Amino acid sequence: MKSSIKKGWSFLFLLPAAILVLLAELIPVIYTTYLGFMEWNLIQPPKWAGLANYLKVFSTPELLNALKNTAYWVFGTIIFAVGFPLLIAALLTRVKGKVIFKTIFFIPSTLSPTIAAIFWRRVLSSQQGALYPILEAIGLTAQPLLTIPQINTFVMIGIWTWQYFGLNLILFLVGLETIPKEPVEAAMIDGAGPVQIFYRIILPLLQPIMLLVMANAVINSIRMFDIPWIVIQGGPGRVSETLAISLYRESFLLFRMGLGSAIAVVLSIITLLASYRYLAAMGGGKKKER
Protein backbone atom coordinates (compact mmCIF):
# COMPACT_ATOMS: atom_id res chain seq x y z
CA MET A 1 0.00 0.00 0.00
CA LYS A 2 2.77 2.45 1.02
CA SER A 3 4.69 1.47 -2.10
CA SER A 4 1.78 2.27 -4.42
CA ILE A 5 1.19 5.63 -2.66
CA LYS A 6 4.88 6.39 -3.17
CA LYS A 7 4.62 5.52 -6.85
CA GLY A 8 1.55 7.75 -7.14
CA TRP A 9 3.40 10.77 -5.74
CA SER A 10 6.38 10.05 -7.98
CA PHE A 11 4.09 9.98 -10.96
CA LEU A 12 2.46 13.28 -9.94
CA PHE A 13 5.83 15.02 -9.52
CA LEU A 14 6.97 13.81 -12.92
CA LEU A 15 3.70 14.71 -14.62
CA PRO A 16 4.22 18.49 -15.15
CA ALA A 17 7.64 17.96 -16.74
CA ALA A 18 6.34 15.10 -18.85
CA ILE A 19 3.41 17.24 -20.07
CA LEU A 20 5.77 20.08 -20.98
CA VAL A 21 8.10 17.77 -22.91
CA LEU A 22 5.19 16.06 -24.61
CA LEU A 23 3.68 19.38 -25.69
CA ALA A 24 7.06 20.64 -26.89
CA GLU A 25 7.55 17.45 -28.95
CA LEU A 26 4.10 16.26 -29.88
CA ILE A 27 2.61 19.50 -31.14
CA PRO A 28 5.53 20.30 -33.47
CA VAL A 29 5.50 16.71 -34.78
CA ILE A 30 1.79 16.82 -35.53
CA TYR A 31 2.00 20.29 -37.07
CA THR A 32 5.03 19.43 -39.17
CA THR A 33 3.39 16.26 -40.44
CA TYR A 34 0.31 18.31 -41.34
CA LEU A 35 2.43 20.91 -43.13
CA GLY A 36 3.97 18.11 -45.15
CA PHE A 37 0.59 17.70 -46.85
CA MET A 38 0.40 21.39 -47.72
CA GLU A 39 1.95 23.89 -50.11
CA TRP A 40 2.88 26.97 -48.14
CA ASN A 41 5.35 29.82 -48.74
CA LEU A 42 4.68 31.70 -45.48
CA ILE A 43 3.04 34.70 -47.16
CA GLN A 44 0.12 33.05 -48.94
CA PRO A 45 -2.45 30.79 -47.20
CA PRO A 46 -1.49 27.09 -47.22
CA LYS A 47 -2.98 24.91 -49.98
CA TRP A 48 -3.67 21.20 -49.76
CA ALA A 49 -1.10 19.18 -51.69
CA GLY A 50 -1.88 15.66 -50.55
CA LEU A 51 1.03 13.23 -50.71
CA ALA A 52 2.90 15.21 -53.36
CA ASN A 53 5.60 16.47 -50.99
CA TYR A 54 6.21 13.10 -49.41
CA LEU A 55 6.46 11.49 -52.84
CA LYS A 56 8.93 14.17 -53.96
CA VAL A 57 11.33 13.15 -51.20
CA PHE A 58 11.75 9.79 -52.89
CA SER A 59 11.50 10.87 -56.52
CA THR A 60 13.36 14.18 -56.95
CA PRO A 61 16.93 13.52 -58.15
CA GLU A 62 18.42 16.13 -55.81
CA LEU A 63 16.65 14.70 -52.76
CA LEU A 64 17.61 11.15 -53.73
CA ASN A 65 21.19 12.40 -53.95
CA ALA A 66 20.79 13.87 -50.47
CA LEU A 67 19.51 10.50 -49.22
CA LYS A 68 22.54 8.83 -50.78
CA ASN A 69 24.90 11.34 -49.15
CA THR A 70 23.20 10.85 -45.81
CA ALA A 71 23.79 7.12 -46.19
CA TYR A 72 27.49 7.84 -46.88
CA TRP A 73 27.63 9.86 -43.69
CA VAL A 74 26.03 7.04 -41.70
CA PHE A 75 28.29 4.30 -43.03
CA GLY A 76 31.33 6.55 -42.93
CA THR A 77 30.61 7.40 -39.32
CA ILE A 78 30.13 3.76 -38.36
CA ILE A 79 33.37 2.69 -40.01
CA PHE A 80 35.62 5.61 -39.11
CA ALA A 81 34.09 7.29 -36.06
CA VAL A 82 33.02 4.07 -34.37
CA GLY A 83 35.21 1.34 -35.84
CA PHE A 84 38.52 3.21 -35.50
CA PRO A 85 37.95 4.35 -31.90
CA LEU A 86 37.07 0.76 -30.99
CA LEU A 87 40.28 -0.49 -32.53
CA ILE A 88 42.38 2.24 -30.92
CA ALA A 89 40.70 1.67 -27.55
CA ALA A 90 41.51 -2.03 -27.75
CA LEU A 91 45.15 -1.19 -28.50
CA LEU A 92 45.33 1.48 -25.79
CA THR A 93 44.37 -1.01 -23.09
CA ARG A 94 47.79 -2.57 -23.63
CA VAL A 95 49.69 0.72 -23.61
CA LYS A 96 51.21 2.55 -20.67
CA GLY A 97 50.64 6.29 -20.43
CA LYS A 98 47.29 6.04 -22.20
CA VAL A 99 46.16 9.17 -20.37
CA ILE A 100 48.24 11.23 -22.79
CA PHE A 101 46.70 9.51 -25.80
CA LYS A 102 43.22 9.86 -24.33
CA THR A 103 43.76 13.59 -23.85
CA ILE A 104 45.12 14.09 -27.35
CA PHE A 105 42.29 12.18 -28.97
CA PHE A 106 39.60 13.78 -26.81
CA ILE A 107 40.50 17.43 -27.37
CA PRO A 108 38.73 17.70 -30.75
CA SER A 109 35.55 16.33 -29.17
CA THR A 110 35.38 19.44 -27.01
CA LEU A 111 34.77 21.47 -30.15
CA SER A 112 31.38 21.80 -31.76
CA PRO A 113 31.01 20.46 -35.32
CA THR A 114 30.66 24.08 -36.47
CA ILE A 115 34.04 25.06 -35.03
CA ALA A 116 35.60 21.90 -36.41
CA ALA A 117 34.22 22.76 -39.86
CA ILE A 118 35.54 26.32 -39.76
CA PHE A 119 38.92 25.11 -38.54
CA TRP A 120 39.35 22.44 -41.20
CA ARG A 121 37.99 24.66 -43.97
CA ARG A 122 40.89 26.94 -43.21
CA VAL A 123 43.46 24.17 -42.80
CA LEU A 124 42.46 22.47 -46.06
CA SER A 125 42.24 25.70 -48.05
CA SER A 126 44.60 25.75 -51.01
CA GLN A 127 44.96 29.45 -50.19
CA GLN A 128 47.39 29.61 -47.31
CA GLY A 129 45.84 26.60 -45.59
CA ALA A 130 48.07 25.04 -42.95
CA LEU A 131 48.16 21.65 -44.66
CA TYR A 132 49.47 22.69 -48.04
CA PRO A 133 52.95 23.93 -47.19
CA ILE A 134 53.51 20.52 -45.65
CA LEU A 135 52.22 18.70 -48.72
CA GLU A 136 54.17 20.95 -51.07
CA ALA A 137 57.33 20.33 -49.07
CA ILE A 138 57.01 16.66 -49.96
CA GLY A 139 56.32 17.37 -53.60
CA LEU A 140 52.50 17.39 -53.71
CA THR A 141 50.53 20.29 -55.18
CA ALA A 142 47.74 22.08 -53.36
CA GLN A 143 44.26 20.98 -54.44
CA PRO A 144 41.02 22.60 -53.32
CA LEU A 145 39.81 19.30 -51.87
CA LEU A 146 36.60 20.68 -50.44
CA THR A 147 35.40 21.82 -53.86
CA ILE A 148 36.06 18.54 -55.71
CA PRO A 149 32.59 17.00 -56.01
CA GLN A 150 33.74 13.38 -56.21
CA ILE A 151 35.56 13.42 -52.88
CA ASN A 152 34.47 16.37 -50.76
CA THR A 153 31.82 14.37 -48.89
CA PHE A 154 34.51 11.90 -47.82
CA VAL A 155 36.86 14.70 -46.83
CA MET A 156 34.09 16.11 -44.65
CA ILE A 157 33.43 12.68 -43.14
CA GLY A 158 37.12 12.80 -42.24
CA ILE A 159 36.57 16.13 -40.47
CA TRP A 160 33.64 14.64 -38.60
CA THR A 161 35.71 11.60 -37.63
CA TRP A 162 38.44 13.87 -36.27
CA GLN A 163 35.91 15.76 -34.18
CA TYR A 164 33.85 12.78 -33.00
CA PHE A 165 36.60 10.20 -32.54
CA GLY A 166 37.67 11.11 -29.02
CA LEU A 167 34.26 10.84 -27.41
CA ASN A 168 33.71 7.34 -28.74
CA LEU A 169 37.24 6.37 -27.76
CA ILE A 170 36.62 7.38 -24.16
CA LEU A 171 33.31 5.50 -24.10
CA PHE A 172 34.95 2.35 -25.47
CA LEU A 173 37.84 2.64 -23.03
CA VAL A 174 35.39 2.90 -20.15
CA GLY A 175 33.54 -0.12 -21.49
CA LEU A 176 36.72 -2.13 -21.93
CA GLU A 177 37.87 -1.33 -18.43
CA THR A 178 34.64 -2.70 -16.97
CA ILE A 179 34.98 -6.05 -18.72
CA PRO A 180 35.87 -8.74 -16.15
CA LYS A 181 39.30 -10.27 -16.63
CA GLU A 182 38.28 -13.87 -15.84
CA PRO A 183 36.63 -14.74 -19.19
CA VAL A 184 39.58 -13.27 -21.07
CA GLU A 185 42.11 -15.18 -18.95
CA ALA A 186 40.13 -18.36 -19.32
CA ALA A 187 40.09 -17.95 -23.08
CA MET A 188 43.81 -17.35 -23.14
CA ILE A 189 44.37 -20.50 -21.15
CA ASP A 190 42.25 -22.38 -23.67
CA GLY A 191 44.57 -21.15 -26.41
CA ALA A 192 42.46 -18.42 -27.99
CA GLY A 193 44.39 -15.79 -29.94
CA PRO A 194 43.99 -12.01 -29.48
CA VAL A 195 41.63 -11.66 -32.45
CA GLN A 196 39.43 -14.52 -31.25
CA ILE A 197 39.34 -13.10 -27.73
CA PHE A 198 38.42 -9.69 -29.05
CA TYR A 199 35.74 -10.93 -31.40
CA ARG A 200 34.17 -13.69 -29.26
CA ILE A 201 34.54 -12.39 -25.73
CA ILE A 202 35.29 -8.70 -25.57
CA LEU A 203 32.86 -7.50 -28.26
CA PRO A 204 29.84 -9.34 -26.84
CA LEU A 205 30.62 -8.03 -23.34
CA LEU A 206 30.98 -4.56 -24.81
CA GLN A 207 27.50 -4.67 -26.31
CA PRO A 208 25.78 -2.13 -24.01
CA ILE A 209 28.44 0.52 -24.73
CA MET A 210 28.51 -0.47 -28.38
CA LEU A 211 24.77 0.03 -28.69
CA LEU A 212 25.01 3.46 -27.10
CA VAL A 213 27.89 4.54 -29.33
CA MET A 214 26.29 3.17 -32.47
CA ALA A 215 22.91 4.72 -31.72
CA ASN A 216 24.50 8.13 -31.09
CA ALA A 217 26.68 7.84 -34.15
CA VAL A 218 23.84 6.84 -36.43
CA ILE A 219 21.47 9.50 -35.12
CA ASN A 220 24.09 12.26 -35.33
CA SER A 221 25.16 11.29 -38.82
CA ILE A 222 21.62 10.97 -40.18
CA ARG A 223 20.92 14.55 -39.19
CA MET A 224 24.31 15.88 -40.34
CA PHE A 225 24.04 19.57 -41.21
CA ASP A 226 26.79 21.62 -39.59
CA ILE A 227 29.89 20.40 -41.35
CA PRO A 228 28.69 20.22 -44.98
CA TRP A 229 26.83 23.51 -44.58
CA ILE A 230 29.66 25.49 -42.96
CA VAL A 231 32.29 24.06 -45.28
CA ILE A 232 30.57 24.40 -48.64
CA GLN A 233 26.78 24.71 -48.18
CA GLY A 234 26.24 21.24 -49.50
CA GLY A 235 28.03 22.11 -52.74
CA PRO A 236 29.46 22.45 -55.23
CA GLY A 237 25.91 22.89 -56.44
CA ARG A 238 24.04 20.35 -54.37
CA VAL A 239 26.45 17.49 -54.75
CA SER A 240 27.33 17.04 -51.07
CA GLU A 241 23.92 17.99 -49.74
CA THR A 242 22.54 15.86 -46.93
CA LEU A 243 18.87 15.42 -46.10
CA ALA A 244 19.15 17.91 -43.23
CA ILE A 245 20.54 20.51 -45.64
CA SER A 246 17.72 19.74 -48.08
CA LEU A 247 15.26 20.39 -45.26
CA TYR A 248 16.92 23.74 -44.55
CA ARG A 249 17.08 24.76 -48.22
CA GLU A 250 13.49 23.96 -49.00
CA SER A 251 12.17 25.58 -45.81
CA PHE A 252 14.35 28.64 -45.29
CA LEU A 253 15.90 29.46 -48.66
CA LEU A 254 13.10 28.53 -51.02
CA PHE A 255 10.23 28.84 -48.51
CA ARG A 256 8.63 25.61 -49.66
CA MET A 257 7.50 24.84 -46.14
CA GLY A 258 5.42 21.84 -47.23
CA LEU A 259 8.32 20.03 -48.88
CA GLY A 260 10.67 21.02 -46.05
CA SER A 261 8.22 19.59 -43.53
CA ALA A 262 7.89 16.37 -45.51
CA ILE A 263 11.67 16.02 -45.50
CA ALA A 264 11.67 16.62 -41.74
CA VAL A 265 9.11 13.87 -41.21
CA VAL A 266 11.01 11.42 -43.40
CA LEU A 267 14.26 12.28 -41.62
CA SER A 268 12.60 11.69 -38.26
CA ILE A 269 11.21 8.34 -39.35
CA ILE A 270 14.61 7.25 -40.64
CA THR A 271 16.19 8.28 -37.34
CA LEU A 272 13.57 6.41 -35.34
CA LEU A 273 14.02 3.27 -37.43
CA ALA A 274 17.79 3.50 -37.15
CA SER A 275 17.67 3.87 -33.37
CA TYR A 276 14.99 1.18 -32.99
CA ARG A 277 17.63 -1.51 -32.49
CA TYR A 278 19.09 0.45 -29.59
CA LEU A 279 15.71 1.21 -28.07
CA ALA A 280 14.62 -2.42 -28.46
CA ALA A 281 17.87 -3.67 -26.90
CA MET A 282 17.50 -1.28 -23.95
CA GLY A 283 13.93 -2.42 -23.47
CA GLY A 284 15.03 -6.08 -23.63
CA GLY A 285 17.77 -5.41 -21.08
CA LYS A 286 15.30 -3.95 -18.59
CA LYS A 287 12.98 -6.96 -18.98
CA LYS A 288 15.91 -9.29 -18.22
CA GLU A 289 16.72 -7.25 -15.07
CA ARG A 290 13.16 -7.71 -13.77
Partner 1 sequence: MKKYLLFLAALIVAVSLVGGLAFADSDKDEGKKEKKGKVQEMTLYHDNPEMADFWVSFGEASGEDAGIKAITVDLETSVYMTRIKVDLTTDRAPAVFKWWFGYPAYELVTADLLMDLSGVWDEVGHNFPEGVQDALTIEGVTYAFPFLTAYWVWFYSKPVYDKFNLEPPETWDEFMDQLALFKKNGISGIGNTIGASNWTSFIIPMEILIRLDVDLYLDLMAGKIHWTDPRVVEMMEIWKDMLDEGYFAPMDATYSEDIPRMIKEGSLAFAPYGDWYGGIMQDQGLVPDVDYGVFILPAINPEGEGAVAFEISPLCVGKNSKEAELGKEWMKWYATEHAAQLLWEGRRFSNTVHISPEVIAEDDPILAQIIGMLDDYPRKLIRLWEATPVEIKQQAVDAWNTMMVEPERYIELLESIEKVAVETWPNYGVTNY
- Dihedral sign (CA 228, 74, 211, 159): negative
Per-residue burial over 172-207, b if 16 or more Cβ lie within 10 Å, else e, is bbebbeebeeeebeebeeeebeeeebbeebbeebbe
Which residue in the set 1, 2, 3, 43 belongs to the binding site for partner 1 (CB under 8 A)? 43
| Minimum distance from residue 23 beta carbon to partner 1 (Å) | 8
Cα 188 off chain centre by: 36
Site string for partner 1, 222-261 (x = CB under 8 A): --------xxxx-xxxxx--------x--xxxxx------
d(CA 8, CA 18): 15
Distance in angstroms (rounded) separating the CA atoms of residues 83 and 165 = 10
What is the longest distance spanned by two Cα atoms in the chain? 80
Smallest gap from Cβ 180 to partner 1, in A, equals 42
By CB under 8 A, the count of residues binding partner 1 is 39
| Nearer CB in complex with partner 1: 142/184 | 142
**Which of these ranges, 37-45, 65-73, 178-186, 280-288, lies near partner 1 under the rule CB under 8 A?**
37-45
b/e code 233-257 from CB counts within 10 Å (16+ = b): bbbeebbbbbbbbbbbbbbeeeebb
- Closest to 201 in 3D by CA, of 212, 185, 177: 185
Rounded to a whole number of angstroms, the minimum distance from the CB of residue 30 to partner 1 is 18
Minimum distance of partner 1 from residue 219's CB (angstroms): 25
**Which of 36/175 has CB closer to partner 1?**
36
Q: What angle do CA 161, 165, 168 make, to 5 degrees?
A: 135
Reduce the DSSP state of residue 38 to 3 states and report it. Answer: strand
Terminal CA-to-CA distance of the chain, rounded, Å? Answer: 21
Q: Which is closer to partner 1, CB of 49 or CB of 211?
A: 49
Q: Would you say 255 or 276 has its CB closer to partner 1? A: 255
32 forms part of the interface with partner 1 (CB under 8 A):
no
Q: Which is closer to partner 1, CB of 233 or CB of 271?
A: 233
Compare residues 23 and 79 and give the one whose CB is closer to partner 1.
Answer: 23
Of residues 126 through 185, those in contact with partner 1 by CB under 8 A are 126-128, 142, 144-149
Using the minimum distance from each CB to partner 1, give the nearer residue, 126 or 268. Answer: 126
Between residue 67 and residue 106, which ones bind partner 1 under the rule CB under 8 A? none
Binds partner 1 (CB under 8 A): choice among 7, 13, 75, 100: 13
Give the closest residue to 87 by CA, choosing from 164, 168, 163: 168
Asked if 49 interacts with partner 1 (CB under 8 A), we say no
d(CA 51, CA 59): 12
Nearer to partner 1, 23 or 269 (CB): 23
Residues at the contact surface with partner 1, assessed by CB under 8 A: 9, 12-13, 16-17, 19-20, 41-44, 121, 124-128, 142, 144-149, 230-233, 235-239, 248, 251-255
